[in-house]
Structure 1
Amino acid sequence: MSRVQDRKDYPLSMRLPEADVAMIDRAAALKGRSRTEFVREAAVRAAEDAVMEQQLIRMSEDGYADFMAVLNAPARPVPEIIEIQQRPAPWEPGYKRRS
């Protein structure tokens, strides 16, 4: 029979200016989260980003050559993007709302 590992929570305490707490509370409310949940998620996301920035990406010489070939190849037009860029902006004459 397998044992479920006990969850360990560690307290984290911070002193923040009132304006920062107000902004965090507002954002947490908009996301439907408690202050603790919101701050924890934001802190973990920032920590993951910092760790990922330091990760080394390894590839074979052939893989690197293929990667560089793709980066150095001329850009190809994407018809959908061209069509979007040619549409009038909402504040320009001729704009028609799409449904």
Structure 2
Amino acid sequence: MASPLKDKRIEVRVTSAQKDAIAAAAAIEGRSITDFTTSAATERAADVIRRERDIRVDAAAFEQFEAILERPARSIDGLRDLLNRPTIFVD
């Protein structure tokens, strides 16, 4: 399978110490600086996104959450009436 086309660029300014550290780490892993930094940035981005999306709770809180989900739904008269009316969006 062909690799996706890489047609976008990201440019960053770094200190000499940062560049040296990145180059050393890339060399240790036998990768180019571009490959190393792209991989590291992508992994970090995935971690940040995952942390924002995931909700972690302890067992007691999860049990309470499940109990709430298992309760029977309430009947809301106004909502039931609204949903039983003919829609204006269909002829």
Classify the TM-score, shorter chain. 0.5 to 0.7
Unmatched 5+ stretches in structure 1: 59-63, 67-99
Q: Which has the higher helix share?
A: 2
Q: Which has the higher contact order (CA 8 A, sep 6+)?
A: 2
Going from structure 1 to structure 2, the CA distance change for 1:5 and 1:15 (only over 3 Å counts) comes to same
Which of residues 28, 31, 38 is equivalent to 1:30?
Answer: 28
Q: CA deviation at 1:17?
A: 0.7
Q: Percent identity?
A: 29
> Whose radius of gyration is greater, 1 or 2?
2
Q: Normalized against structure 2, the TM-score is what?
A: 0.55
Going from structure 1 to structure 2, the CA distance change for 1:53 and 1:22 (only over 3 Å counts) comes to same
Distance in 1 of aligned mates of 2:21 and 2:33: 10
Q: Normalized against structure 1, the TM-score is what?
A: 0.51
Matches within 5 A, 1:1-99: 7-9=4-6, 10-57=8-55, 64-65=62-63
Q: How many residues align?
A: 59
Distance in 2 of aligned mates of 1:24 and 1:5: 28
CA deviations on 1:25-74 (whole Å, 9 max, x unpaired) are: 0000001110000000100011001000111449xxxxx229xxxxxxxx
